[in-house]
């Protein structure tokens, strides 16, 4: 797995869309990930993903009091990246990234001292939470003196309305869609994109959530855009990247999610993908974080996605990405076989079995729909 | 047609939801509608609707230089409500309502003098535009001195995430859905609600747009809510009104609209209606305001709405509301007959032929799904 922002983005001048946050995190090479006590893979998913996809830019994980010495032992990713108890243990830190994604997005009060310490040292602070560091008077005043740059990845002023005009026909757009939140849509987009790149194709990753934005260097925090402008923000971002042959666009939420379906449809229609990769976590039957809300069947969801997508442009599900983290090896094998039979589509677990079936599905779609 | 805010709301203490704008416009009885030059029914739809549904609260239409003397002649609604050229002609005005809904929501610069005149006189200013009067330094400073209340109907800080928990089973929820924007979804909701009320049923209107909010006194400006919270804002509003037996919920946008489909789905899932009224404008085949985007067929849209709605809760389209304003009487008759045959559903034009078929459809659904 690559350890720095996508090669295809690194050398491009980063042009900001009107309303996009002015972020500089692609410069950071000695990042401290602030997780302080949280190691649950859902809450700490930002830290875990940054350790996987920007390993060489991460100096340390700041986790408070713990016996565990390495990121790999504490969070399951990042190899020998050290776990530290204090910022003073990282004298050359250039940024602190908030590594947690708590529901509701509020910053724990217990972090105020360490964030102020970072800011006083001139260290940049990057946060993906809804609770904005850039609107805290004390952080701002301290940063004004020290030169520390504060950035809220979710903060935006997108005010553009989507036009619905067609994109460049030879730009293939693949969107990951899910049966729920936190099933691996970002990971699947990244893994498929990287595999395509390694095979010599011009494929780029389009981030739509705080973690993806921190990994790739830019993106649209769609869940934080005013609803009238979600489709428009996504459309602008896609259009801004349509010189690439293939876009792997990170999905958000689920079209059936009682809380977030608006975000999901705005992203689907704003990006008008020709192909969808349906992502799910094996064993999950109820909506995560809500009380007793069943998730519809895969069949019902795949149909709903295709019906909704085709209102906007021709589109179909081209493959299924199963997250089998809760299954044994044998159960995973059975699951993949059974799903493959039921839906007659390529199926894989991008971590356990590799993304190749999905990569091939993308290439087949490219041949079918794009004039090469 | 009733001329004051819905009877069922007038006597209720208005309890605000967390994050809802603190508005007082149900007190206004001598409203001046500011339209200044705009009379196109799409741009001036707020003024026209206010003239229809709050006639006795409207003192005058402020339209700048014009020969036309009455609202009826200028805008097609409001009877003898006078058209004036200056605010000085209405000495007892208690509020100025911005009566236009321009795309993008920006306030024309030419209005600054008249708004300042109103504010200096202590007259309240109510605006439904995205361009907030409450964020204008000069308006605020002037209002602080005069006691004038400024209100931006679209301004909100909704931050609640939908829970997806079921509503009171005996509360029947009917949502109007459209094939495009500006086809009459608000009007249909209002007309059906009023007819049900007249027949002795406890039916309430739930506004979701600036015009509906100005008419009924409260509501959720869904297109101006951050996308993560749209479903939640709607859900809270519905739950807050579920003591009523029937809710007529104002739809927004269209599930196929390239720009606004996110808003539409958030509203659909947040309200979890048991019944939908499908609204369309006869003769419109392309999305209004966009360039050459065809609207899908009625069949495709009805299917898409039912597929999407049923992800959340059991739901079906119970009737069709045709807006036949562009047709002759004879053409309208043929249109209604043809649509009725094709879809085997009650069809009417609530203005031209009256809402009774839809009213009966609502009552039939109530018998079918609610334990009476």
Q: What DSSP line would sit under A209-258, residue for residue?
A: SHHHHHHHS-B--GGGSBGGGHHHHHHHHHHHTTTSSEEEEPP-S-TT-T
Same domain, A133 and A198: no
Rg (alpha carbons) of chain A, rounded to whole number: 20
- Does B158 reside within a domain? no
Q: How far apart are CA A173 and CA A251, in angstroms?
A: 12
Same domain, A200 and A271: yes
> What backbone torsions phi and psi does residue B198 show, to the nearest 5 degrees?
-60, -25
CA distance A240 to chain B (A): 17
Domain that holds residue B117: 20-152
Three-state DSSP class for A127? strand
* CATH number of domain containing B93: 3.40.50.720
**Burial, A82: exposed, middle or buried (Cβ in 10 Å; 0-12, 13-18, 19+)?**
middle
Give residues 77 to 96 of A whose Cβ lies within 8 Å of B.
Answer: none
- Does A6 reside within a domain? no
Give the mean pLDDT of B222-238.
Answer: 96
Residue B182: which residues within 8 A CB-CB, separation 6 or more? B42, B45, B281, B288
Which of B104, B258, B269 minimises the CB distance to A258? B269
Query: A164 to chain B: which residues are within 8 Å by CB?
Result: 258-259, 287, 290, 293
Interface test with B, best of A106, A231, A232, A258 (most B CBs within 10 A): A258
Query: B228 to chain A: which residues are within 8 Å by CB?
Result: 130, 223-224, 259-260, 263
CA distance B205 to chain A (A): 22
| Angle subtended at Cα B64 by Cα B59 and Cα B68, rounded to the nearest 5 degrees | 75
Same domain, B239 and B361: yes
Q: How far apart are CA B43 and CA B103, in angstroms?
A: 8
pLDDT value for B13:
43
- Does B365 reside within a domain? yes
Sort strands B246-249 and A31-34 into parallel, antiparallel or unpaired. unpaired
Same domain, A81 and A179: no
Rounded to the nearest integer, the mean pLDDT of chain B is 91
| Count of the separate structural domains present in chain B | 2
Residue whose token pair is 């000495």:
B91
Same domain, B350 and B209: yes
Report which DSSP code applies to B358.
H
Instruction: Kindly tell me if the per-residue pLDDT of B8 is higher than 70.
Output: no
A159 vs B: CB within 8 A = yes
Q: Do A262 and B262 touch (CB under 8 A)?
A: yes
CA distances from A300 to A267, B96, B162 (A): 20, 50, 22
Give the mean pLDDT of B323-338.
Answer: 97
Q: Do B265 and A260 touch (CB under 8 A)?
A: no
Instruction: Kindly tell me if the per-residue pLDDT of B5 is higher than 70.
Output: no
Same domain, B50 and B180: no
Q: Which of A152, A187, A212 is the last residue of a domain?
A: A152
Interface test with A, best of B229, B258, B264 (most A CBs within 10 A): B258
Closest residue in B to A293 (Cα) is B164
Give residues 195 to 254 of B whose Cβ lies within 8 Å of A.
Answer: 222-228, 230-232, 235
Contact by Cβ (8 Å): A272, A313: yes
Instruction: Tally C-beta pairs within 8 A across A and B.
Output: 144
Same domain, B194 and B107: no
CA distance B265 to chain A (A): 5
Annotate B162-189 with three-state secondary structure: CCCCCCCCCCEEEEEEECCCCCCHHHHH
Closest among A233, A217, A253 to A57, alpha carbons compared: A217
pLDDT value for B11:
35
Closest residue in A to B164 (Cα) is A258
Query: B269 to chain A: which residues are within 8 Å by CB?
Result: 257-258, 261-262
CA distances from A90 to A113, A175, B342 (A): 16, 38, 72
Closest among B115, B282, B47 to B184, alpha carbons compared: B282
Encoding tokens for residue B7? 């009877």
Interface test with A, best of B262, B273, B296, B301 (most A CBs within 10 A): B262
pLDDT value for A371:
60
Q: How far apart are CA A151 and CA A25, in angstroms?
A: 9
Q: Do B258 and A159 touch (CB under 8 A)?
A: no
Which of A222, A232, A259 minimises the CB distance to B259? A232
Same domain, A113 and A225: no
CA distances from A230 to A265, B98, B277, B339 (A): 9, 26, 26, 34
- Does B160 reside within a domain? no
pLDDT value for B65:
75
Report which DSSP code applies to A300.
H
Same domain, B117 and B197: no
- Kindly report the number of other CB atoms within 10 A of residue B110's CB atom: 10
Query: B130 to chain A: which residues are within 8 Å by CB?
Result: 159, 228
**Burial, B54: exposed, middle or buried (Cβ in 10 Å; 0-12, 13-18, 19+)?**
buried
**What are A46-104's pLDDT values in tens digits?**
999 999 999 999 999 999 777 899 999 999 999 999 999 999 999 999 999 998 876 66
**What are B56-100's pLDDT values in tens digits?**
999 999 997 778 999 999 999 999 999 999 999 999 999 999 988
Query: A161 to chain B: which residues are within 8 Å by CB?
Result: 103-104, 259-260
B261 vs A: CB within 8 A = yes
Q: Do A223 and B222 touch (CB under 8 A)?
A: no
Three-state DSSP class for B284? coil
CA distance A5 to chain B (A): 27
**pTM of this structure:** 0.92
pLDDT value for B250:
98
CA distance B260 to chain A (A): 6
Same domain, B109 and B249: no
- Does B14 reside within a domain? no
Encoding tokens for residue B40? 């196109």
Closest residue in B to A259 (Cα) is B162
Residue A254: which residues within 8 A CB-CB, separation 6 or more? A177, A178, A179, A180, A181, A260, A261, A264, A295, A301
Same domain, B135 and B233: no
The whole-angstrom distance between residue B69's C-alpha and the CA centroid of its chain comes to: 27
- Does B4 reside within a domain? no
Give residues 32 to 71 of B whose Cβ lies within 8 Å of A.
Answer: none
- Does B165 reside within a domain? no
CA distance A281 to chain B (A): 18
Contact by Cβ (8 Å): B3, B55: yes
Q: Do B227 and A232 touch (CB under 8 A)?
A: no
pLDDT value for B4:
38
Same domain, B100 and B206: no
Report which DSSP code applies to A178.
E
Q: How far apart are CA B161 and CA B237, in angstroms?
A: 12
Which of B261, B303, B312 minimises the CB distance to A307? B303
Q: Do B231 and A260 touch (CB under 8 A)?
A: yes
Q: Predicted confidence band at B9 (pLDDT cuts at 50, 70, 90)?
A: very low
pLDDT value for A41:
80
Q: Do A258 and B231 touch (CB under 8 A)?
A: yes
Contact by Cβ (8 Å): A276, A309: yes
pLDDT value for B315:
98
Which of A130, A159, A259 minimises the CB distance to B231? A259
Q: Which residues of chain A have pLDDT under 70?
A: 1-24, 102-105, 371-372
pLDDT value for B101:
72
**What are B117-172's pLDDT values in tens digits?**
999 999 999 998 888 999 999 999 999 999 999 999 989 989 899 999 999 999 99
- Does A12 reside within a domain? no
B163 vs A: CB within 8 A = yes
Which of B159, B260, B312 minimises the CB distance to A228? B260
Encoding tokens for residue B315? 């739901």
Rounded to the nearest integer, the mean pLDDT of chain A is 91
* CATH number of domain containing A288: 3.40.50.300
Closest among B94, B77, B95, B74 to B85, alpha carbons compared: B74
Residue whose token pair is 């700490």:
A44
In order, the DSSP letters of B75-129 are HS-STTPBEES-GGG-TT--EEEE----TT-PPPGGGHHHHHHHHHTT-EEEE-S
Closest among B151, B207, B150 to B176, alpha carbons compared: B207
Q: Do A224 and B226 touch (CB under 8 A)?
A: yes
> What backbone torsions phi and psi does residue A234 show, to the nearest 5 degrees?
-65, -45
A118 vs B: CB within 8 A = no
């Amino acid at each position: 797995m690559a350890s720095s922002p996508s090669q295809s983005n690194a050398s491009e001048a980063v042009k900001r869309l009107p309303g996009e946050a002015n972020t500089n995190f692609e410069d950071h090479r000695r990042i401290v990930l602030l997780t302080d006590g949280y190691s649950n893979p859902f809450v700490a998913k930002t830290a875990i993903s940054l350790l996987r996809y920007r390993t060489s830019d991460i100096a340390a994980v700041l986790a408070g009091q713990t016996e565990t010495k390495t990121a790999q032992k504490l969070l399951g990713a990042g190899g020998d990246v050290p776990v530290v108890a204090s910022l003073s243990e990282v004298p050359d830190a250039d940024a602190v990234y908030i590594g947690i994604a708590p529901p509701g997005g509020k910053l724990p009060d217990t972090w105020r001292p360490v964030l102020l310490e970072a800011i006083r040292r001139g260290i940049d602070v990057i946060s993906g939470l809804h609770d904005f560091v850039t609107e805290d008077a004390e952080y701002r005043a301290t940063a004004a003196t020290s030169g520390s740059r504060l950035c809220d990845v979710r903060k935006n002023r997108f005010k553009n309305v989507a036009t619905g005009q067609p994109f460049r026909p030879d730009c293939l757009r693949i969107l990951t869609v899910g049966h729920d939140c936190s099933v691996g849509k970002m990971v699947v987009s990244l893994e498929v994109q990287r595999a395509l790149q390694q095979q010599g194709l011009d494929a780029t990753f389009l981030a739509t959530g705080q973690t993806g934005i921190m990994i790739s260097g830019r993106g649209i925090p769609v869940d934080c855009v005013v609803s009238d402008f979600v489709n428009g923000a996504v459309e602008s971002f896609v259009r801004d990247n349509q010189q690439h042959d293939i876009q792997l666009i990170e999905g958000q939420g689920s079209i059936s999610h009682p809380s977030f379906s608006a975000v999901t449809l705005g992203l689907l229609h704003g990006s008008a993908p020709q192909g969808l990769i349906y992502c799910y976590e094996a064993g999950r039957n109820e909506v995560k974080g809500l009380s007793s809300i069943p998730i519809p069947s895969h069949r019902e969801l795949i149909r709903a996605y295709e019906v909704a997508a085709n209102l906007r442009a021709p589109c179909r599900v081209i493959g299924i990405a199963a997250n089998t983290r809760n299954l044994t090896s044998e159960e995973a094998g059975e699951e993949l076989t059974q799903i493959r039979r039921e839906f007659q589509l390529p199926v894989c677990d991008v971590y356990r079995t590799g993304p190749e079936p999905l990569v091939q599905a993308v290439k087949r779609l490219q041949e079918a729909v794009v004039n090469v």
